[in-house]
Amino acid sequence: MKIYIGNDHAGVDMKNHIVKYLKSNGYEVINIGTDNEDSVDYPDFGKEVAKKVVENKSFGIVICGTGIGISIAANKVKGARAALCYEDQTTILARQHNNANILALGARMIANEKAVRLVDIFLNTKFEERHKNRVEKLNNQ
C-alpha cells in the first residue's frame, strides 16, 4: 500500500523514523515533506498530503510540532479526514469510528517510538461500517 507522508521542519526526525518503519514493513512511501530543518510553512505540506490521499484513496501521515496546524491544513481538503492522535485509544477510534485517512502527529509532543506505534495501530485498525452514515455526512460538508 502507498502511504503519503508530509512534515514541516519540526517533523523531520520523526518522519525519518516512520519512513524506516514503513519501508521495513513493505509499504511504498511517498515523501512529500521537507528533509531539513530550515523553517517552512506546515499548511503547504498538510494540503499536499491530503490532496494525494484523497486522489489516490490511500492513507497519509502528517507531522508538525504539535500536529495541530498540519491537521487543520489537511482537513481543509474535501474528503480528507485527518485525526491528531497522541495515544493508542484515540488512534484506534479515529479509524474505527471516523474512518480517518490521515494520521496527524506532534513531533514536539510525543517520542518517535510512540509515533511509530501509533502509525502501526492506525494502519492496522479497520473502519466499522456501522459508522458509515456519519462519515458520509463529513464527506458532504
Residue 9 known to bind ligand: yes
- Look up 85 and say whether it is catalytic: no
**CB-wise, 8 or 91, nearer to ligand RB5?**
8
Query: Is 34 near ligand RB5 (CB under 6 A)?
Result: no
Catalytic residue among 17, 85, 97, 131: 97
Element (H, E) at 67: none
Q: Which is nearer to ligand RB5, 70 or 119 (CB)?
A: 70
Alpha helices in 25-101 (DSSP H): 42-56, 68-74, 88-96
Burial class (CB in 10 A: 0-12, 13-18, 19+), 132: exposed
Q: What does the chain come to in residues?
A: 141
Choices 28-36, 66-74, 90-98, 128-136; region in contact with ligand RB5 by CB under 6 A = 66-74
Q: Any idea which residues carry the catalytic annotation? A: 64, 97
